[in-house]
């Protein structure tokens, strides 16, 4: 039934979900994910305590809340997911859920992730002979990898650890010759920042001995281009039909919009920001490092020397719309805030992913869906129509509307085409 919420088949199709009150939505998700009463209470606002916050960061003053919701309709590799997302921007969850519904009609998403290999970097300076230093490290590659593994035995025990060492000589830099060592390190289900940093710290003294140079920086790279996730989908043209615009034309408009972001970095910046609207929201909800993900994604978008779209949208021979995206996604399911923050723990239970690779694949699908929603809106009715309807609610709240007044005031603002705080205050007074 399209106008009611049904549970039982573990379907992420939750028609009418948005019509429910917040407590009812929590109850639906709690049943769907098998949450305990305590876990459901976390969703209802009893998450991170001031005491927990005080242990997480220095100089803590309290906690800061952001809206937490779920995106529906996601079918990924044949499995249904509800996607927890933490974001303050109106229309994000509605847009991504709608896009996921369109993609679902074409069989859903296909997602995959590479092995979770991170890059640790060591910078070596003051080298008398760059070529000799490079050869010395090549000859001791196995020794260095074993040394790196010796300080993270728990990861090695789980099948991770050193995978390779790459050497990048830079004969001419502003500070003279430089040799950069890349330690490729499999961090399994951890994001792995601590593991990779510990590993490069451990081998740095031996690197200095072998090269005769001076080691300066030893730190991970957030351009984790060996640790990528890919999402793909196909949307039947019929699903894209818009009032007065046939579905095949809409598909063509979307492909043209994507081409704009491929050739023009000014457009690509906004295009990719829309992708990250979705990915960041899942990162925050699950306690992952969204700043690292942002850095890696944008660097990856410029990997050929020009900043470009992360996505590719094209129309196939049948007239259907095909989308694909690959980007670095170094995320974890163990360690860090993911295992400390109560709300992140509940979000992970709702997702029910079994590995960091699965989580990365889910995030890639969310990003692809978010991008589809944005460029479809831009290429048809424009981005403001739906966005401003939701923005009007924020304006009503900012003007002082009560919970019971918000929707009425927002509807009035939209109907007048006058979405301003001053007008909202006038409506509240009257």
Residues annotated as part of the active site: 89, 273, 289, 387
Residue 338 DSSP class: G
Q: 281-307 burial by CB neighbour count: b if 16+ within 10 A, else e?
A: bbbbbbbbbbebbbbbbbbbbeeeeeb
DSSP 134-178: HHHHHHTHHHHHHHHHTT-HHHHHTT-EEEEEEEEEES--TTS-E
Distances (CA, A) of 183 to 117, 137, 152, 394: 10, 12, 14, 48
Euclidean distance between CA atoms 291 and 278, whole angstroms? 14
Indicate the burial class of 205 (C-beta count within 10 angstroms; 0-12, 13-18, 19 or more). Answer: exposed
**What would the 3-class secondary structure string for 67-85 be?**
CEEEEEEEEECCEEEEEEE
Tokens of 120: 């640790």
Q: Using an 8 Å Cβ cutoff, are 111 and 361 in contact?
A: yes
> Residues with Cβ < 8 Å from 399, sequence gap 6 or more?
409, 421, 424, 425, 428
Tokens of 317: 């021979």
Residue 334 DSSP class: B
Strands (E), 155-286: 161-170, 178-186, 214-221, 228-235
**Distance, first Cα to last Cα, the chain:** 40
153 closest CA partner among 189, 115, 195, 184? 195
Q: Using an 8 Å Cβ cutoff, are 250 and 241 in contact?
A: yes
The vertex-120 CA angle with 173 and 339, nearest 5°, equals: 145
Tokens of 384: 């403001």
């Amino acid at each position: 039934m399209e106008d009611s919420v049904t549970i039982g088949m573990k379907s992420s199709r939750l028609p009418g979900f948005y019509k429910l009150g917040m407590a009812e939505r929590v109850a639906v998700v709690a049943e769907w994910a098998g949450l305990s009463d305590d876990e459901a209470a976390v969703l209802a606002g009893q998450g991170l305590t001031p005491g927990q916050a005080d242990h997480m960061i220095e100089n803590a003053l309290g906690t800061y809340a952001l809206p937490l919701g779920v995106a529906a309709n996601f079918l990924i590799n044949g499995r249904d997911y509800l996607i927890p997302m933490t974001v303050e921007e109106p229309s994000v969850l509605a847009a991504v859920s709608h896009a996921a519904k369109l993609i679902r009609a074409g069989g859903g998403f296909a997602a995959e992730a590479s092995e979770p290999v991170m890059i640790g970097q060591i910078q070596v300076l003051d080298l008398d002979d760059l070529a000799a230093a490079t050869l010395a490290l090549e000859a001791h590659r196995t020794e260095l990898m074993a040394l790196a593994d010796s300080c993270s035995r728990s990861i090695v025990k789980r099948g991770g650890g050193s995978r390779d060492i790459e050497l990048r000589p830079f004969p001419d830099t502003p500070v003279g010759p430089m040799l950069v060592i890349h330690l490729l390190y499999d961090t399994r289900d951890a994001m792995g920042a601590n593991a990779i940093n510990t590993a490069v710290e451990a081998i740095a003294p031996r690197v200095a001995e072998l090269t005769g140079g001076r080691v300066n920086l030893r730190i991970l790279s957030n351009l984790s281009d060996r640790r990528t996730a890919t999402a793909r989908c196909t949307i039947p043209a019929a699903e894209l039909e818009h009032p007065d615009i046939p579905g095949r034309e809409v598909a063509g408009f979307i492909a043209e919009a994507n081409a704009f972001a491929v050739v023009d970095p000014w457009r690509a910046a906004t295009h990719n920001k829309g992708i990250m609207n979705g990915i960041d929201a899942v990162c925050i909800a699950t306690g992952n490092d969204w700043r690292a993900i942002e850095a890696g994604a944008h660097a990856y978008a410029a990997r050929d020397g020009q900043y470009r779209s992360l996505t590719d949208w094209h129309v196939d021979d049948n007239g259907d719309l095909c989308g694909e995206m690959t980007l670095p996604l170094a995320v974890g399911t163990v360690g860090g805030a993911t295992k400390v923050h109560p709300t992140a723990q509940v979000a992970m239970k709702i997702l029910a992913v079994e590995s960091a690779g699965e989580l990365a694949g889910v995030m890639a699908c969310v990003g692809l869906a978010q991008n589809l929603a944005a460029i479809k809106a831009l290429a048809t009715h424009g981005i403001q129509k739906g966005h401003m309807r939701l923005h009007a609610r924020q304006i009503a709240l900012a003007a002082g509307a009560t919970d019971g007044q918000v929707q009425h005031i927002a509807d009035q603002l939209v109907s007048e085409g006058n979405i301003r705080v001053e007008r909202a205050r006038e409506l509240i007074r009257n």
